[in-house]
Structure 1
Amino acid sequence: MKLKHYFFLVLFLFSINFYSQINLSQKASISVVTCGPGSELYTAFGHSAFRVYDPVNKVDKIYNYGTFNFNAPNFYLNFAKGKLTYQLSTTRFGYFLQVYRYENRWVKTQELDLNHEEVQATFNFLENNAKPENRDYQYDFFYDNCSTKIEDVIKIILQDKVTFNNNHITSNKSHRDLIADYTKNQKWGKFGIDLALGSVIDKEASKDDYKFLPDYIFYAFENATIKNDSETKPLVKNTITILKAQKLNTFKPLTYLTTPFFTILFISLIIAFLTYKNFKTKKRSKWLDFIVFFITGIIGVAVLLLWFTTDHTATYKNLNFLWAFAPNLIVAFYLLKAQLPKWTLYYFLFLIILIFFMIVVWILKIQVFNSALLTLLIVLVVRYLFLIKTSKTLA
């Protein structure tokens, strides 16, 4: 190894050791950092982190629980299986801000009203948690993420000194409702979420459950109190907007035509037109039936795999399988035959029953499906009725 490499290695190790042993000054502070949503789906919900600032010791660090390592062994396989390993990473606050300035996202800090011992204890906890042997944790989008970690850490350090109340939350929303609040401009992302996540996210969320979203952690801290000696005071001493998002003209003419609703409506109209044409000519488009059954079968298999073979807590009890029926994948090949087997008549009838059951589930809000599916459900019923009527007579 070259001499300069040794130098940088020693310097790096020294810097780690410096931070791990440093005693913060009386001017040091701990802040909760909340970042606004971005334009991409993975940034649509915002972000939360800690900031440790000490002007005397020239410490200005971000502690970020929202990072992961793409190079970890079997990363993509583990991601698909729901075994998401995230980690606490650190960086300079200035570098952190550069990213959010580039992405045009607002950043706010809430300086916590802690005494020196509490500031030092928080710093020590974060430094220890950021060590390679301690930094990894099993991520869960709703219950263990960059946002929920913020309150968890403060509760661990301050214990019964701190009180979080949820009086500021007056709505009664499900997890799906909360996701919808942040994906209004992410139509395809919202469609994918509604397709992949099950009925477990349609139950009414508790007030604590709201805190998987950084905005709600922000307000939780704004309304939290801390007790020192006999005095009870607000936990947040000072709230500052560090970055403001610039208003951009994002309007794009006719973009609604590429949304899931209009895309699926267009596909549904094609299926309806071909079905009407088949009915008038008394011929069946075998290729159309194959495509419809093959695609719905593939989607159904994906839904069941997410439900039964992964550790994703939000993909359980996904009733999208009622319209995207996995056995369709096999039946699709029978529909390439000129003469349909007799049992297919009962199979088509069963598919119609499943869709009507799905509508009942939707009305009762046992699971709320994406509204873009409505026209597709109608045309599927129409196509299945056509197949029932003609399965014995058409070639």
Structure 2
Amino acid sequence: MRKQLFLLFILFTALTAAGQPKTLSPEAEVSVLTIGPGYTLNDAFGHSAFRIKDHIRGIDLVFNYGVYDFNAPNFYLKFAQGKLNYLIGLDYYEDFYESYVSQNRTIRAQVLNLSPSEKQQLFDYLLNNYRPENRAYLYDFFYDNCATKIRDVVEDISDHPIAFHIPEDFEAKTFRTLIHEHLKLNSWGAVGIDVALGSVIDREASTYEHMFLPENIYRFFAAADMQSDPDQALVIASSVVFEKLEQPKSNGFISSPLSIFGLIACIILFITYRDFQQKQRSPWLDVILFSITGLVGVFILLLWFATDHTGTHQNYNLLWAFVLNLIMIPQLLKTQPKSWFVKYLKFLIILLTLMTLHWIIGIQVFAIGLIPLLIALACRYLFLVYHYNRLN
């Protein structure tokens, strides 16, 4: 933070020294930088930024809309609620470049076909946006992020409407599919996203909405031109500034969701089979399963109704993570529960069936890593129905 404030101070001082106007020279160049995916969930979708280069004025700066405000009060609570403001960042290009090279992430540049006045408008826009009173914006992963900001700013400063054409080999996809393309389906990040985000992201994104991903900003910008003059392309030059070095990929299957949940499912099925053979029930296992599924259901409901996240609505993971399971725990502690409890267990089986239908029909896609656990849950519920009916 201190470095950024010092940078801004030096910048404004340099631009205003000796009465010089805050203007770019005719040689100024504006580029969009597209950063490739990183190796953590937070970096898996890439990044976008503006580069303002003017060797006459001695300016080579990068502005990007993707900085956490760690000094914000109740940072983690606001992050969970979807109410956290993000900031526009400012770096020297050399520092920005070295940072992503050290992370072994590809950097691509697209020089924009802007008039001198448009370049100046964009520079003024970014400088004004960087002022402390203007730096923050309410982040939304799908509709207002580091990539969509690039598109929106360019449209705002352009003197002519921009036509974003469909790139070659473009295929319309759902938001979830676009996310999955950047993650291993059998990864903990994919499981977390598929549990937390609801069916609203299983609709097909419009061509314009595809630009929430930095790589699609790159693709759509490359195909864009001016509506008034289709011969005037938005991008006049493209280059790969740094190409990441390929590294050996670790398998990691042993620690993957399918492996871990598969092991848990085998334990559940083994205990269930043993209970069936011995005509008994292991109540501790049922209490654990009902507690976990109920608590996950509470988490999903909170994301749906108690946050401002747009992607967590209409989440049918509630069909397996059923909140009322928490209330039913006392029945599991009894040798002979209430007669209606068997009907409740049958209801849970119906919910799992409905979940399967939702998946097949395409209403919502669920995490493949959970499949072993869901099968084990269904088998356990069927056993409990059989067990209680036998007691009666």
Q: CA deviation at 1:197?
A: 0.2
The equivalent of 1:166 in structure 2 is: 166
In structure 2, C-alpha distance between the alignment counterparts of 1:386 and 1:317, rounded to whole Å: 30
Matched, 1:271 2:264: no
Q: CA deviation at 1:231?
A: 7.7
Matched, 1:367 2:364: yes
Query: Would you say the 8 A contact 1:282–1:394 is kept in 2?
Result: no
Aligned identity (percent) is 44
Q: In 2 relative to 1, CA 141–291 (structure 1 residues): closer, same or farther, beyond 3 Å? A: same
The equivalent of 2:315 in structure 1 is: 318
In structure 2, C-alpha distance between the alignment counterparts of 1:157 and 1:303, rounded to whole Å: 40
The equivalent of 1:100 in structure 2 is: 100
Query: Would you say the 8 A contact 2:186–2:368 is kept in 1?
Result: no
Matched, 1:384 2:349: no
Query: Would you say the 8 A contact 2:191–2:370 is kept in 1?
Result: no
TM-score by length of 2: 0.93
Between 1:371-380 and 1:133-142, the stretch displaced more is: 371-380
Q: In 2 relative to 1, CA 11–35 (structure 1 residues): closer, same or farther, beyond 3 Å? A: closer
Between 1:322-331 and 1:141-150, the stretch displaced more is: 322-331
Query: Would you say the 8 A contact 1:284–1:394 is kept in 2?
Result: no
The equivalent of 1:46 in structure 2 is: 46
In structure 2, C-alpha distance between the alignment counterparts of 1:32 and 1:11, rounded to whole Å: 21
Q: Map residues 102-117 of structure 1 onto 2, 5 A cutoff.
A: 102-117=102-117
Q: Map residues 57-206 of structure 1 onto 2, 5 A cutoff.
A: 57-168=57-168, 170-184=170-184, 187-206=187-206
Matched, 1:15 2:15: no
In structure 2, C-alpha distance between the alignment counterparts of 1:159 and 1:368, rounded to whole Å: 42
Letter in 2 for 1:164: F
Query: Where has structure 1 moved over 6 Å in runs of 4 or more?
Result: 9-12
The equivalent of 1:6 in structure 2 is: none
In structure 2, C-alpha distance between the alignment counterparts of 1:315 and 1:275, rounded to whole Å: 34
Query: Would you say the 8 A contact 1:297–1:324 is kept in 2?
Result: yes
Q: In 2 relative to 1, CA 65–12 (structure 1 residues): closer, same or farther, beyond 3 Å? A: closer
Between 1:321-330 and 1:181-190, the stretch displaced more is: 181-190
Q: CA deviation at 1:25?
A: 1.0
Letter in 2 for 1:241: V
The equivalent of 2:301 in structure 1 is: 304
The Cα RMSD (Å) is 2.1
Q: Secondary structure at the match of 2:344?
A: helix
Letter in 2 for 1:15: L
Q: CA deviation at 1:250?
A: 2.2
The equivalent of 1:225 in structure 2 is: 225
Query: Would you say the 8 A contact 1:37–1:43 is kept in 2?
Result: yes
Query: Would you say the 8 A contact 2:106–2:242 is kept in 1?
Result: yes
Q: CA deviation at 1:331?
A: 1.5
Q: In 2 relative to 1, CA 12–314 (structure 1 residues): closer, same or farther, beyond 3 Å? A: closer
Q: Map residues 322-341 of structure 1 onto 2, 5 A cutoff.
A: 322-341=319-338
Unaligned runs of 5+ in 2: none
Query: Would you say the 8 A contact 1:67–1:88 is kept in 2?
Result: yes
In structure 1, C-alpha distance between the alignment counterparts of 2:77 and 2:283, rounded to whole Å: 36
Query: Would you say the 8 A contact 2:185–2:191 is kept in 1?
Result: no
Q: Secondary structure at the match of 1:144?
A: coil
Q: CA deviation at 1:340?
A: 2.1
The equivalent of 2:286 in structure 1 is: 289
Letter in 2 for 1:361: H
Letter in 1 for 2:382: L
Q: In 2 relative to 1, CA 225–70 (structure 1 residues): closer, same or farther, beyond 3 Å? A: same
Q: CA deviation at 1:162?
A: 2.6
Q: In 2 relative to 1, CA 185–360 (structure 1 residues): closer, same or farther, beyond 3 Å? A: closer
In structure 2, C-alpha distance between the alignment counterparts of 1:30 and 1:236, rounded to whole Å: 10
Query: Would you say the 8 A contact 2:167–2:219 is kept in 1?
Result: no
Query: Would you say the 8 A contact 1:342–1:392 is kept in 2?
Result: no
In structure 1, C-alpha distance between the alignment counterparts of 2:41 and 2:230, rounded to whole Å: 43
In structure 1, C-alpha distance between the alignment counterparts of 2:6 and 2:171, rounded to whole Å: 54
In structure 1, C-alpha distance between the alignment counterparts of 2:186 and 2:126, rounded to whole Å: 34
In structure 1, C-alpha distance between the alignment counterparts of 2:202 and 2:8, rounded to whole Å: 48
Q: In 2 relative to 1, CA 373–143 (structure 1 residues): closer, same or farther, beyond 3 Å? A: same
The equivalent of 2:339 in structure 1 is: 342
Q: CA deviation at 1:238?
A: 1.1
1:352-373 Cα offsets, whole Å, 9 max, x none, are 1111111111110000111222
The equivalent of 1:5 in structure 2 is: none
1:309-354 Cα offsets, whole Å, 9 max, x none, are 1100000000000001011122224312333222211110110111
Q: CA deviation at 1:241?
A: 1.2
Letter in 2 for 1:171: E
Q: In 2 relative to 1, CA 14–263 (structure 1 residues): closer, same or farther, beyond 3 Å? A: closer
In structure 2, C-alpha distance between the alignment counterparts of 1:358 and 1:233, rounded to whole Å: 50
Letter in 1 for 2:242: L
Query: Would you say the 8 A contact 2:85–2:138 is kept in 1?
Result: yes
In structure 2, C-alpha distance between the alignment counterparts of 1:146 and 1:280, rounded to whole Å: 58
Q: In 2 relative to 1, CA 37–116 (structure 1 residues): closer, same or farther, beyond 3 Å? A: same
Unaligned runs of 5+ in 1: 1-8
Count matched residues: 385
Matched, 1:28 2:28: yes
